Amino acid sequence: MGRKVTVATCSLNQWALDFEGNLQRILKSIEIAKHKGARYRLGPELEICGYGCWDHYYESDTLLHSLQVLAALLESPVTRDIICDVGMPVMHRNVRYNCRVIFLNRRILLIRPKMALANEGNYRELRWFTPWSRSRQTEEYFLPRMLQDLTKQETVPFGDAVLATRDTCIGSEICEELWTPHSPHVDMGLDGVEIFTNASGSHHVLRKAHARVDLVTMATTKNGGIYLLANQKGCDGDRLYYDGCAMIAMNGHIFAQGSQFSLDDVEVLTATLDLEDVRSYRAEISSRNLAASRVSPYPRVKVDFALSCREDLLEPLSEPVEWKYHSPAEEISLGPACWLWDFLRRSQQAGFFLPLSGGVDSAATACLVYSLCRQVCEAVKNGNQEVLADVRTIVNQISYTPQDPRELCGRILTTCYMASENSSRETCNRATELAQQIGSHHIGLNIDPAVKAVVGIFSLVTGTSPLFAVQGGSSRENLALQNVQARIRMVVAYLFAQLSLWSRGARGGLLVLGSANVDESLLGYLTKYDCSSADINPIGGISKSDLRAFVQFCIERFQLPALQSILAAPATAELEPLTNGQVSQTDEEDMGMTYAELSVYGRLRKVAKTGPYSMFCRLLTMWGHICTPRQVAEKVKRFFSKYSANRHKMTTLTPAYHAESYSPDDNRFDLRPFLYHTGWPWQFRCIENQVLQLERREAQDLDGVD
């Protein structure tokens, strides 16, 4: 009597529109799943075309090529004798759906369209797809001729149905459906579905891994059952990093955990579980059984196939495992580094160029590249042939095998300290010391001749010479002189990124890395088109406080003592003249607020969705023990004035790794105007009226005490 089932789920590093590569990764995952004895294989959401196709979903080519890949999968001997569950866009009666296509032995069993679409934050599924709204109903889908010839089927069921095999019942929910208040697994479980599958396209956000795990374990705690979750992994073409975490759970326990970050393009998890454990678990929950007797049934697609074998008495069962989470500092060391790896190999560049200032932000970015080098060496040591082939292509050496992260870092990372007359000796030394410890190819240069030449052109044309504030200049002159230094650094960075390998007799160009953190971007504390302008920015979605924690982590984990003096130094732009050789300018003084305060403003503005007045009201209670209402009001006004005056800078922000829920990224995540009334007259008047009221009340209370 067979009742033990072996099921497989996976994380795949798919790439938007890379139909050839995506097909090969899907086939490899099915091959591994079969080799491990699985008879059902689940893959990530929209895995055939890659999740992040965005407006390419509008194109008939995307639908056509997805069908061609499906045909190749149906035809492949690899897909024999295993139920394959793949994701792709499907057009049904002129409407585009985000679907699962489930097939076995060249026959399509069911096309299951997604019923709840993700449409918040970075997600815009309603822009391209329509949710299937006919619960527990199916229609006939007429197969295109190219598939009819293969499957010998004219129509297949399309809609909200479940699969009934000889030994069990399987139901799908897709990504967002797990997060909805009434997920499909609730009623499916009550209707006797024993195996739930979830194909996800879920991206990394710091401190959020537990949310997925909690939802899956809770789903099977309340209802019993086996739950498989598949997810995409890696950068599939934009700011997001899909963070794997494939898993298999049963009755509230995890039985298989996939990695959250890795350089493996294909990762397959399997578990062998006993269906009787599901049945006995459910039998005991009388409230569930009462609800089950009332539930509306799902249409069942009968499948003449069993997931279990008849003789499975000696088949060993999987044991529950404890889910292991990364600390936020570990998440930063791994996620953005893997994202950089995908960017580097897929853009076919030869490495990275990083302006290294001796401050925390650029040091953190350098550490991410060093972390990447460590992961590459580790992957090669563990026999990852794809990583070895990629790294050989990047360094243009067919026999190269990386063993030492420092040596690899010297090949793929060029760091550059760009001094000016306003730079201190200390920051120069800190940058040089860090470069030596991580092994990067380091360049030191001075930008003063270029700055003088550009300012000289202005003086020649206008007959005036701007001065810094300490030399008697106005604030306009002071700011312009700071900005010209910052912008020249960007021009120099791109010149060296294009030609520094050429000057060394090596091929290729370098990707320029930016290193503005999420808090600076939020306030606009950066010069438009300075070194914050780059090809990509791995730390642009990470707060200053998290970056400091990450740098502390690197000191211990990577043994980089040079970081200690970088952490201890006050953050400074070094764009104004030194006072007696010492830095006179600090970031927090310049901004008029601390980085810690900035993180609070950022979360309230984006996550809590507060305008100036609501933020003031919230902060009155949060900061009431350290600030008077008037001080709180001044802080809120200062933030909103600066934020709105600088919002235009977000339109040119370098594409950054998305890691934080309060990112101000203007591209898709945080859609706002960039021409504001920076005086906020109505809103600030509401705050002022409230402050006056509170001050009057306080005065009355004091009078009462007298």
Three-state helix/strand/coil letters over 513-552: ECCCCHHHHHHCCCCCCCCCCCCEECCCCCCHHHHHHHHH
Among residues 10, 45, 125, 267, the one annotated as catalytic is 45
Nearest Cα neighbor of 677 from 631, 635, 643, 630 is: 643
Among residues 114, 544, 606, 637, the one annotated as catalytic is 114
Q: Which residues pair with 90 in a beta bridge?
A: 97
Q: Distance between the two ends of the chain, CA-based, in angstroms?
A: 88
Amino acid in the structure at residue 390: D
Q: Which residues pair with 445 in a beta bridge?
A: 418
357 classed as catalytic: yes
**In a 3-state reduction of DSSP, which class is residue 512?**
strand
Q: How far is residue 176's CA from residue 186's CA, in Å, rounded to a whole number?
A: 14
DSSP state of 260: S
45 classed as catalytic: yes
175 classed as catalytic: yes
Nearest Cα neighbor of 302 from 432, 115, 161, 201 is: 161
**In a 3-state reduction of DSSP, which class is residue 309?**
coil
Pairing of strands 40-42, 138-142: unpaired
DSSP state of 422: T
* CA 260, chain centre distance (Å): 11
Amino acid in the structure at residue 104: L
- The CA–CA distances, whole Å, from 85 to 318, 412, 690 equal 22, 39, 58
Listed in order, strand segments (DSSP E) in 105-257 are: 107-113, 138-142, 155-159, 162-164, 169-174, 195-200, 226-234, 242-243, 247-250, 253-257
Which DSSP helix (H) or strand (E) runs through 460? Answer: helix 448-462
Nearest Cα neighbor of 340 from 659, 669, 667 is: 659
114 classed as catalytic: yes
Q: How far is residue 323's CA from residue 247's CA, in Å, rounded to a whole number?
A: 10
Q: How far is residue 622's CA from residue 631's CA, in Å, rounded to a whole number?
A: 13
Q: How far is residue 673's CA from residue 647's CA, in Å, rounded to a whole number?
A: 8
Among residues 357, 515, 644, 663, the one annotated as catalytic is 357
Are the beta carbons of 51 and 98 closer than 8 angstroms? no
- The CA–CA distances, whole Å, from 286 to 187, 219, 234, 417 equal 16, 17, 43, 69
Contacting residues for 581 by C-beta, under 8 A, at least 6 apart: 424, 425
**In a 3-state reduction of DSSP, which class is residue 654?**
coil
Active-site residue list: 45, 114, 175, 357
